[in-house]
Amino acid sequence: MTDKELLQQAADKASTILGIPNRYIDTVKFVRLYSLLYTVVGSDEENMRWWLNTFNKHLNFCPASRLTDEHSLDKIIAYLETYVDR
């Protein structure tokens, strides 16, 4: 299996766990987002889905609604990274 196939498999699994369609703009960034969210929220899939589908006042949007916008995806990742780096 190639790296690209493994990455796509990881993204597909994350998409299923989060209950969102495979509509993200960048597979690598989406897997990074999932990894950060897993770290910040914990392994609780329900909380991960809740966080992703709830309006975030710091981001000023609902993260799940912006996964197809590269700038917004970068903003979500940067926001989650601030919690991981603490």
pLDDT of residue 21: 81
pLDDT per residue as tens digits for the range 30-69: 999 999 999 999 889 999 999 999 999 999 999 999 988 9
- The 3-class secondary structure across the chain, one letter per residue, is CCHHHHHHHHHHHHHHHHCCCCCCCCHHHHHHHHHHHHHHHCCCHHHHHHHHCCCECCCCECHHHHCCCHHHHHHHHHHHHHHHCC
State the pLDDT confidence band at 86, using cuts at 50, 70 and 90: low
pLDDT of residue 83: 86
11-35: string of b/e by CB count within 10 Å (b at 16+)? beebbeebebeeebeebebbbbbbe
pLDDT of residue 60: 97
Q: Output the pTM of the full model.
A: 0.89
State the pLDDT confidence band at 25, using cuts at 50, 70 and 90: confident
